[in-house]
Structure 1
Amino acid sequence: MIEFKKILEKANEYKADMIKFLRDMIAIPSESCDEEKVILRIKEEMEKVGFDEITIDPMGNIIGRIGHGSHLIAMDAHIDTVGIGEINNWKYDPYKGYEDDENIFGRGGSDQEGGMASMVYAGKIIKELGLEDDYTLLITGTVQEEDCDGLCWQYIIEEDKIKPEFVVITEPTSCRIYRGHRGRMEIKVSVTGISCHGSAPERGDNAIYKMAPILLELQELHKRLLDNEFLGKGSLTVSEIFYSSPSRCAVADGCSISIDRRLTDGETYLSALEEIRNLPSVKSSNAVVEMYDYERPSYTGLVYPTKSYFPTWVLPREHVVCDTLVESYQSLFNEEPVVDKWTFSTNAVSIMGRYNIPCIGFGPGAEVEAHAPNEKTFKSHLVKACAMYASIPSMYMKNIKK
């Protein structure tokens, strides 16, 4: 029998420890590809609370193990962050982990080192309350997610040969249960022209002008993209523009743009590329439409190339993993959870989007805090998430034995 009251009591008991651990992580700048110091801090905490095994793989992901059972379950937090942006927009030092009675402020608090703090202490609770069963729980702190979501799990699955039965994504959900999100891809559109002296532009072919009608048609394409009842509408926006020219006194001979394309259920990377390739302005200008590649080395120096495509995923509401989280929540908090989806994307783009390993989301902090100045997470969320993470494996075992 799962003693949910004791689990919640333990989570509250370790509230101060989780807060200190989270503040320590926030105080270590850990942007993508520069996560080594925060990984070592996580290793220290895992050792302190008594994980059975701790490894750091060649990409730099940290993997802590609890238990030795036959059912492999994983819980994931990416521990890299984005930068701080304009420092004048921050009321508090983003790397101090300032706290008040209810909140902890700083870059990475919600997105998403709060999830790591709650997971580590969930592992401690599992061991202290004797909640081990015929399962092995892996707590993963993964790298480069902000740069290339899911790449870390491509490596874990393909190279570390780890394939869990399901994965809990601990990105911020405001302690709601999230069962999907749109996918995304990064697209480049390029046109070429012919340069000439700017005093006689008619002698050349201006690539920037050739891009102008493409931009307008992309703006209209966004309005008619596929909609989905659960995940919402596909979207696109032009996020960057580049040019090449011999000088400021010359006609531009090249122009390219980056497109952030969000894919709803029913869209694929092929359909998204074809929609753009079929635009009249793209055809008339012989524009090249392609996906970006990602080849940036991790902090260990490892390069693991991939296309910048991050598939959509949805876990059915009636799936045993979704039921497991709903029942855990009901049992712990004596209320009904909200079951919804993320607006942004997570490492589940690989885990479920590429490999069809079921994923479910539950995390401390709010999605609106991600990448924002004055990012914060909530102390009460750390406790709530910790109790959930400690309960989920036992509830899953109970459900699959029915």
Structure 2
Amino acid sequence: MLAGKRILLIIGGGIAAYKTLELIRLVQKAGGMVTPVLTRAGAEFVTPLSVGALAKSKVHAALFDLTAEAEMGHIELSRSADLLVVAPATADLLAKMAGGRAEDLASTLLLATDKRVLVAPAMNVRMWQHPATQRNLATLRGDGVLVVGPDEGEMACGEYGPGRMAEPAVILEAIAAALGGGPLAGRHVIVTSGPTHEPIDPVRYIANRSSGAQGTALAAALRDLGARVTFVTGPASVPPPGGVGVVRVETAREMAAAVAAALPADAAVMAAAVADWRVANASGQKLKKDGSGKAPALEFAENPDILATVSKGPQRPRLVVGFAAETTDVVAHATAKRARKGCDWIVANDVSPGTGIMGGAENAVTLISEAGAEEWLRMGKDEVARKLAARIAEALR
């Protein structure tokens, strides 16, 4: 499964470090080679002797190693591996990575690499749930860092909740997916995201409250499963993820053209909140008050229906997923929309002002398909994205 693959394993300082000994064994059994890097804190939990004996390799620990650094060892280590794995990835290591710090060998390697990075977080439940950790994780996901776990369970400290490092066998599967491209390897997926801005004049425009967070999370989740993602985004308030092909647009017509240009594709996920209407008589100059007290008369024209066009077009992807942001009768409206547009699935949600979903960090969706309506519990938009991406991978399999 990992024949000939080289894994640079960075072992952080947490009680879960003992699991990395089993991980080394599993990687080797799968045909891979492990070069271990032991942080100062990691050495408090596992010894260089045990790690080196199992890895059958020198254990690297010091940034200022005169022999290694004479040959720019930190550069060579970070570039010669096929994948960097951080396990356990402590809150401190995640913070260093997110901040781009390079103050020891581990953080320097992570900053100097041009290879993919997989982290297996492990920490106390309170540390995991802290906004700072979640911000750091969101930054890392946006940079293209892969994440496996953490699991939920009893902690060494006696508390219960999310924060346990994923089991070595699960980390091995994530390593194999990262190196082999994952279940969506070789697949092309188009993702639309964000709002569109329909100009009234060169200064003003009509828009909606979409932040683009859900579409961005979906693009990252599909990328992490190995897909080649074309990310067509309107002027969102969140940055696009790394590792995807980004096409920036402003208007619905520009988005329709960008989607058409990106076809063919295996799947299309239309998460953008596209404006239904545009101003037909948009002014080329800023509209000014004329002292009459009368507002300018705006004429509206219907924008292209991107979802219906893709669903019914000659280059229809195998799977087409639409989104429905509703404020009343969510399931009924979304079910009717699926039939009307001709798509396979509709991801529906209630965006009433009291929900805090549009522009917020969480989502509560109902997946509408030929099989009916499946309600998902409210969860973070990243979690929704990973769950939907897994479903897409299963459908394309």
TM-score bin (small chain): 0.3 to 0.5
- RCO comparison, higher one (Cα < 8 Å, 6+): 1
**What TM-score, normalized by structure 1, do the two folds share?**
0.32
